[in-house]
Amino acid sequence: MLSRTFALLFIMSLLGGPAAAQTLRLDQLPVPADALQKRMALDAFSAYRCSDCEGGKGYDTWAAKRLGVTGQGAWNAKVGDLPVGGVITWKGVQATGELKVVSENPVAGYRCKQMLYTIKKGDQSASRDGMFCLSKPRSSEVQPRWSEIY
């Protein structure tokens, strides 16, 4: 019976339940197996020809660039400051984009926000999920910071 209880507490901690503790690093948090594939598909959907861009392509998924958000961690902080239901929109070269905070749920003891990215091009649209989490401060930092997990 003790091992079943331990297993349940361990699973709850991974899912961010009451027994959650930040035992995992941010780069160890669970990521859906298809997250990279979905990100690449959304990037491909938003691609356009660009003679000034590296490789001859630009991407309307690059929201921070379109909105002029610069500086280390500035985009992550902007997204992290959004409440549930909060939205950031941008106009790209050939498409419009939207990032919406759909929920906020703990993951492995971290405060995490689940996102939905949507790109609209004409009468077509494509989307993918994403997640940002608030990290513990590093030894050289005073404040925790938001990081994009996927």
| pLDDT tens, residue by residue, 15-43 | 544 444 567 899 999 999 999 999 999 99
pLDDT at residue 4, rounded to an integer: 45
Between 60 and 4, the higher pLDDT residue: 60
Between 64 and 10, the higher pLDDT residue: 64
pLDDT band at 106 (very low <50, low <70, confident <90, very high): very high
**Beta-sheet pairing, 146-148 with 124-134:** antiparallel
Statement: the pTM of the whole predicted model exceeds 0.85: no
pLDDT at residue 22, rounded to an integer: 60
pLDDT at residue 88, rounded to an integer: 98
Residues 6 or more apart from 99 whose CB is under 8 A from it? 63, 79, 87, 88, 89, 115, 116, 117, 118, 130
**Residue for token pair 């959907």:** 45
Nearest Cα neighbor of 107 from 52, 43, 35, 28 is: 28
pLDDT for 114-134, tens place per residue? 999 999 999 999 999 999 999
